[in-house]
Structure 1
Amino acid sequence: MRKKIALLLASLTLTMAFAGCGKTEEAAQGVTETTIKVGNSVSTSGAFAPVGVPFKAGIEAYFKMINESGGVNGRTIEYIHQDDEFNPEKGKAVLDKLVNDDKVFAIVGHFGTPVVGATLDDLKEIGIPSVYFATGTGILYNENAAKGEGDNIFPVQPVYPMEGRIMTAWAKGEFKANKIGVIYTNDDAGKDLIKGIETEAKNIGDVEVISEQVAPGAEDVSSAVTKIKNEDVDVVIIAGIQGTFPQIAKELAKQGNTKPAITTYVNVDKTMVEAIKSDVADKYEIYGNAWVDVTKPAMADFQKWVKEVSTEDFSGNAYAMTGWIAADFFVTGVKNVDGELTWENYIAAMEKEPIENPFGGNIDFSGGKRLGTQEMSLAKMDLSSPTGWSPYIGFKNIDAILGN
Structure 2
Amino acid sequence: MRSSRSATAIVLASALVLAACGGAGETPTGSGGSQNGEPAPGVTDTEVVIGTHQPLTGPAAPGYSKISVGARAVFDYINDGGGINGRKITYKVEDDGYNPTKTVEVVKKLVLEEKVFALVGGLGTPTHSKVLDYLTSEGVPDLLVSSGALMWDAPDKHPNTFGYQVDYTREGKIQGQYIRDNLAGKKVGLLVQNDDIGTDTQKGLDQYIKDQIVDRKTYDPANTDVTPQVSALQAAGAEVVVCECIPAFTALTILTSLKIGYKPQLVVSSIGADPATLTGLVEQFAKQGGTQVSGGALLTGIIGTRYLPSVRGEDDPWTALFKEIHGKYIPQEAFTDTLVYGMVMAYTFGQALKAAGKDLTRQKIMDAMSSGELKGPGLTPFAFGKDSHAGYTGALVFRIEADGSVKTLQEAKVTDRETGEVKAYDEKRPTPQEVKLVG
Q: Report the TM-score, using the length of structure 2 for normalisation.
A: 0.67
State the distance in 1 between where 2:59 and 2:193 align.
21
The correspondence of residues 1-400 of structure 1 with structure 2, limited to 5 A, is 27-44=39-56, 51=63, 54-113=66-125, 115-136=127-148, 138=149, 141-142=150-151, 145-147=154-156, 149-172=157-180, 174-175=181-182, 181-185=187-191, 187-188=193-194, 192-193=197-198, 195-199=200-204, 201-202=206-207, 208=211, 210-214=213-217, 216=219, 217-218=226-227, 221=230, 224-225=233-234, 227=236, 236=240, 238-241=242-245, 242=250, 243-244=252-253, 262-265=267-270, 266-267=272-273, 269=275, 271=279, 286-292=302-308, 293-294=310-311, 295=313, 296-310=316-330, 313-314=332-333, 316-337=335-356, 340-353=359-372, 355-358=374-377, 360-383=379-402, 385-387=403-405, 389-398=406-415
- The CA deviation at 1:208 is 4.3
Cα deviation digits, residues 366-395 of structure 1 (max 9, x gap): 244344432211112422x324x4222332
Cα deviation digits, residues 190-222 of structure 1 (max 9, x gap): x734643444654x7x97453412364135746
Where does the alignment leave 5 or more consecutive residues of structure 2 unmatched?
Answer: 1-25, 31-35, 220-225, 284-292, 426-439
Cα deviation digits, residues 275-331 of structure 1 (max 9, x gap): 8998998xxx65221233222322333233334444x61251333322212211211
Give the AA of the match of 1:188.
N
- The CA deviation at 1:251 is 8.3
**Residue 5 of structure 1 corresponds to which residue in structure 2?**
none
Give the AA of the match of 2:158.
G
Question: Percent of counterpart pairs with the same letter?
Answer: 23
State the distance in 1 between where 2:103 and 2:376 align.
27
Give the AA of the match of 2:242.
I
Q: CA separation of 1:227/1:87 partners in 2, compared to 1, >3 Å: closer, same or farther? A: closer
**Residue 8 of structure 1 corresponds to which residue in structure 2?**
none
State the distance in 2 between where 1:319 and 1:186 align.
20
State the distance in 2 between where 1:275 and 1:250 align.
15
- Partner-residue secondary structure (3-state), 1:73: coil
Count of residue pairs brought into register by the alignment: 362
CA contact (8 A) 1:162 1:374 kept: yes
Q: Which range moved further: 99-108 or 348-357? A: 348-357
- The CA deviation at 1:107 is 1.0
Q: CA separation of 1:71/1:267 partners in 2, compared to 1, >3 Å: closer, same or farther? A: closer
State the distance in 2 between where 1:376 and 1:176 align.
18
- Partner-residue secondary structure (3-state), 1:64: helix
Say what the alpha-carbon RMSD is for the aligned residues: 4.2
Cα deviation digits, residues 217-250 of structure 1 (max 9, x gap): 1357466456566xxxxx9452443133565699
Give the AA of the match of 2:178.
W
State the distance in 2 between where 1:366 and 1:104 align.
24
Give the AA of the match of 1:394.
E
Q: Report the TM-score, using the length of structure 1 for normalisation.
A: 0.72
- The CA deviation at 1:403 is 5.4
Give the AA of the match of 2:336.
N
Where does the alignment leave 5 or more consecutive residues of structure 1 unmatched?
Answer: 1-11, 18-23, 230-234
CA contact (8 A) 1:54 1:317 kept: no
State the distance in 2 between where 1:80 and 1:105 align.
11
Q: CA separation of 1:400/1:102 partners in 2, compared to 1, >3 Å: closer, same or farther? A: same
